[in-house]
């Protein structure tokens, strides 16, 4: 993983990883350059941002979620955490990051239909894309099984559905970790002042590190107490029932704010 200007650690195909990365590295450039997928990622922001003045759900959000999902996966694999999505389907370990890559990329495309219940709309839309991408690369049996796990992970990024796999748990948490002020930039500049926008403005940086007592340490830097909403409401709900609660430690610090109402939160 390499650091990007906005603080996100970008997945590096050339780096050494704690998992088989050949399938992931083969598929990543295909996915990021696919015209249908890239158009979906742009179009899904129309309802979310242009019409509803909600937080970013377009290409930048997907890039951040994808990188953070793969970073979580790397740290969890390094910490010896077992994954069950691919293995339950009889697929080998190399399909775990493929499932994570595809689910992170396609989890929000249902926004082209509506923000409300978008995770359910994402299922049929993603299914069509997955058929095209997977059927040409793998046997029918393998393609269907990968597709099943990707769709499960997409559905369960929504907190009303409970993940049954650790791969799905990663997508759920990674989605919640895109919370820095950049995500609310567009609605904020257009006058949006809802709690999600204001609280995002309070989050300075999110860092994913190797933990001491748990495989993953998430450090969140807040500049004022409004960031509590992002951490204690939104992210906490994503972490609960993710199957990864015991493996991820989240610490949020109010580092620059003049108020002392909230100085530290730990999940």
Q: What is the pLDDT of residues 77-119, one digit of tens each?
A: 999 999 999 999 999 999 999 999 999 999 999 999 999 999 9
> Which pTM was predicted?
0.89
Q: What is the pLDDT of residue 45?
A: 96
Q: Is 225 exposed, middle or buried (0-12, 13-18, 19+ CB in 10 A)?
A: middle
179 — pLDDT class (breaks 50, 70, 90): confident
Q: What is the pLDDT of residue 4?
A: 53
- DSSP code for 85: H
Share of the chain above pLDDT 70, in %: 83
Q: What is the pLDDT of residue 55?
A: 83
CATH class of 2-194: mainly alpha
Residues in Cβ contact with 186 at an 8 Å cutoff, skipping those fewer than 6 apart: 49, 56
Residue among 51, 48, 42 at smallest CA distance from 184: 48
Residue 188 has pLDDT above 70, yes or no: no
């Amino acid at each position: 993983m390499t650091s990007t200007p906005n603080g996100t650690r970008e997945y590096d195909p050339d780096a050494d990883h704690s998992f088989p990365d050949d399938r992931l590295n083969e598929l990543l450039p295909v996915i990021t350059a696919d015209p249908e997928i890239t158009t979906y990622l742009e179009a899904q922001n129309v309802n979310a941002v242009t019409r509803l003045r909600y937080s970013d759900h377009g290409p930048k959000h997907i890039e951040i979620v994808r990188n953070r999902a793969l970073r979580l996966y790397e740290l969890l694999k390094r910490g010896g955490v077992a994954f069950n999505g691919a293995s339950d389907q009889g697929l080998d370990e190399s399909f775990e990051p493929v499932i994570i890559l595809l689910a992170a990329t396609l989890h929000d495309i249902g926004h082209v239909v509506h923000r409300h219940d978008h995770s359910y709309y994402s299922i049929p839309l993603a299914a069509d894309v997955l058929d095209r991408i997977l059927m040409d690369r793998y046997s029918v049996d393998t393609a269907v099984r990968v597709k099943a796990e990707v769709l499960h992970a997409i559905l369960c990024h929504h907190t009303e559905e409970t993940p049954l796999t650790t791969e799905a748990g990663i997508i759920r948490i990674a989605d919640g970790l895109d919370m820095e002020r950049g995500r609310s930039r567009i609605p904020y500049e257009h006058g949006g002042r809802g709690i999600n926008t204001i609280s995002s403005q309070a989050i300075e940086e999110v860092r994913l590190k190797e933990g001491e007592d748990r495989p993953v340490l998430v450090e969140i830097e807040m500049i004022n107490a409004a960031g509590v909403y992002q951490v204690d409401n939104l992210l906490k709900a994503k972490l609960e029932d993710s199957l990864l609660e015991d493996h991820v430690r989240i610490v949020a610090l109010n580092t620059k704010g003049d108020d002392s109402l909230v100085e530290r939160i730990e999940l």
